[in-house]
Amino acid sequence: MNVFEEVKKALCKANPGLDESKVVPSALLKDDLDIDSLDLVEIAMSLEDVFNLTLPEDEMENITTVGDIVSVIEARLKVKSG
């Protein structure tokens, strides 16, 4: 499963009006994509289901870009498999 593609899907589901082309790793969640803290909780919940893992709240707090979400998931996946 491509982590970035799944993250993109979850972001677009949270913000239905979102222009997909704006979803790039460097995009700022709040300023570029209009995704607020409540959306982020929902996005985290849906990604936890997709990847079957838990995303710790303290790590989610530091997320500001799309790339940050991808990194956190990739790190958790490594921990799971390693």
Partner 1 sequence: MANRVVVTGYGAVTPLGLNVKDTWRNLIAGVSGVGYISLFDTTDFKVKIAAEVKDFDPAVHLDPTTARRNDRFAQLALVAGMQAIDAAGLKVDDANKYDIGVLIGSGVGGLDSLAQQLDILKTRGPSRVSPFLVPMMIADSASSQVSIKMGIRGPNFGLISACATGTDVLGVAYRLIKWGEIKAVVVGGADAAVTPVGLAGFAQAGALSRNSEPQKASRPFDMERDGFVVGEGAAVLVLESLDYAKSRGANIIAEIIGYGATSDAFHITQPLENGEAAAKAIELALAGVEPDEVGYINAHGTSTPLNDASETKAIKKAFGDKAYEIPISSVKSMLGHMMGAAGAIEAIVCCKVINEGVIPPTVNLEHPDPECDLDYVPNVARKADVRIAISNSFGFGGHNSVVAIGRYDGQ
Please give the helix or strand (H or E) that residue 80 lies within, else none.
helix 66-81
Comparison of 25 and 36: residue with beta carbon closer to partner 1: 36
Q: How far is CA 50 from CA 46, 76, 82, in A?
A: 6, 13, 19
Identify residues 43-82 at the interface with partner 1 (CB under 8 A): 45
Q: How far is the CB of 16 from partner 1 (least distance, A)?
A: 4
Question: Max CA-CA distance within the chain?
Answer: 38
Comparison of 5 and 34: residue with beta carbon closer to partner 1: 34
Work out whether 42 is an interface residue with partner 1 (CB under 8 A).
yes
- Give the count of residues interacting with partner 1 (CB under 8 A): 8
